[in-house]
């Protein structure tokens, strides 16, 4: 619904409605949309500009390491900035940087440019995460974020690899420019999103309780390990498929369809939220992730390759909203959400960077093994904070204590 009962120049959507979740999803995706087309980006640099696989991986990781830096800065800046003008400025800078990137053919220069781009985008994502954390149901909003990312990312993965041979790598950056521009048009219609006064883990005075520092740190590292494991494998999934003899057209179609099917995971989060807590869905989803990653070892069969992408795609879209929402539960200003964005981007950057160091001559089994190890570490890190939050939020919502809106 649209709220027109305000003095704003533009009508704004209801701050906690479904349409607001969509707009916030676009805002938070814009700074990091290249992650959703990362396989197309890496493959496009290899085929379109003749970069080595290692150089292409370094460009991709530099983009996300820059995003990690931007997200880290956002943790300290969000309390002192008005989010709306900050988001508009960041989007305009992103568009300019993507225009410049489309003209660069040198690996080193492009790596530097993408690091700067990532820093700006990461700051924007940190701002977006902080705003999402101020909604009534951050987990559901993060679920919508994944719906948008996977839906549009699926389009990108299906068509962009096929367009690079025809139009060059510029088409990759034009896609990013278009997304930022559309998001820019949405910003005026978003609500104000003032910080929350209290959360489930606040003490009686409304402040954060220091006793929860350990589970918070564990939750942040769970985000890091999960993102590193998934992106390290995803960045080279097109090249992995080629190493098994699959054709580019078949791989890109498979990835696009798998991404769309993976939206199921985000839809489940958006629809269910935390009705069953966080521990049960997290543990079940992580086990399925390991199974899906192991299936990549048998990618010579198109059906198995498709199944592996579907399983890992669904679990990725299903689990990351819970992990990010888990971190968001620790404060009402959105600082911990922004900090989780930093750890997320460090993971998204570290995965491709580590994979680039070990890929060598198509050493994809090692990449798969490292990805499985990362998911296991995520499982160990997530268990305690998820269980604690389930216990605390159950007490927080108890009838004798009331439910804070």
Kind and range of the H or E run holding 2? strand 2-3
* CATH assignment at residue 291: 1.20.1250.20
DSSP label at residue 405: -
Mean pLDDT of 368-381: 96
As a whole number of Å, the CA-based R_g of the chain is: 20
Alpha carbon distances (Å) from 369 to 46, 290, 293, 327, 364? 24, 10, 8, 27, 9
**313 belongs to a structural domain:** yes
| Coil, strand or helix at 13 | strand
Q: Are 151 and 263 in contact (CB under 8 A)?
A: yes
* Alpha-carbon gap, residue 374 to 281, rounded angstroms: 18
How many C-beta atoms lie closer than 10 Å to residue 7's C-beta?
4
- Give the pLDDT confidence of 125-174 residue by residue, as tens digits: 888 888 887 787 777 788 788 788 878 887 887 788 788 888 888 888 89
Burial class (CB in 10 A: 0-12, 13-18, 19+), 16: middle
Give the chain's length. 405
Total domains in the fold of the chain? 1
Percent of the chain with pLDDT over 70: 88
The residues facing 270 across adjacent strands are none
pLDDT at position 317 is: 86
Q: Which residue has the higher pLDDT, 167 or 308?
A: 308
Domain with 323 in it: 17-393
Residue 396 binned pLDDT confidence (cut-offs 50, 70, 90): low
**403 belongs to a structural domain:** no
**262 belongs to a structural domain:** yes
């Amino acid at each position: 619904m649209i709220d027109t009962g305000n003095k704003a120049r533009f009508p704004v959507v209801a701050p906690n409605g479904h349409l607001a979740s969509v707009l916030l999803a676009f805002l938070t995706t814009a700074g990091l949309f290249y992650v959703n087309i990362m396989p197309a980006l890496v493959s496009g640099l290899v085929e379109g500009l003749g970069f080595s696989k290692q150089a292409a991986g370094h460009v991709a990781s530099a983009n996300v390491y820059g995003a990690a830096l931007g997200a880290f800065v956002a943790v300290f800046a969000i309390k002192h900035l008005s989010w709306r003008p900050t988001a508009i400025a960041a989007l305009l800078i992103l568009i300019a940087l993507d225009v410049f990137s489309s003209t660069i053919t040198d690996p080193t220069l492009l790596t530097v440019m993408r690091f700067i781009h990532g820093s700006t985008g990461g700051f924007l994502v940190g701002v977006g995460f902080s705003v999402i954390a101020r909604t009534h149901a951050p987990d559901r909003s993060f679920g919508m974020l994944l719906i948008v990312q996977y839906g549009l990312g699926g389009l990108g993965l299906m068509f962009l690899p096929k367009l690079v041979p025809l139009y060059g790598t510029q088409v990759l950056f034009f896609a990013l420019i278009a997304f930022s521009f559309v998001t820019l048009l949405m910003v005026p219609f978003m609500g104000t999103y003032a910080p929350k006064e209290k959360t489930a883990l606040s003490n009686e005075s409304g402040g954060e309780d220091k006793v929860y520092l350990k589970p918070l740190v564990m939750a942040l590292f769970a985000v890091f390990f999960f993102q590193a494991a998934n992106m390290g494998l995803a960045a080279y999934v097109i090249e992995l498929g080629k190493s098994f003899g699959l054709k580019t057209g078949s791989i890109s179609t498979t990835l696009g369809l798998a991404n769309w099917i993976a939206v199921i995971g985000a839809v489940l989060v958006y629809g269910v939220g935390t009705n069953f807590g966080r521990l049960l869905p997290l543990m079940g989803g992580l086990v399925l992730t390991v199974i899906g990653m192991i299936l990549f070892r048998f990618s010579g069969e198109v059906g198995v390759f498709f199944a592996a992408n579907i399983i890992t795609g669904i679990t990725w879209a299903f689990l990351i909203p819970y992990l990010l929402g888990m971190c968001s539960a620790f404060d009402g200003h959105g600082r911990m959400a922004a900090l989780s964005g930093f750890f997320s981007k460090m993971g998204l950057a570290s995965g491709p960077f580590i994979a680039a160091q070990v890929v060598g001559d198509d050493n994809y089994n090692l990449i798969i093994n490292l990805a499985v190890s990362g998911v296991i570490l995520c499982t160990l890190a997530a268990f305690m904070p998820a269980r604690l939050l389930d216990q605390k939020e159950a007490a927080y919502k108890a009838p004798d204590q009331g439910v804070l809106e």
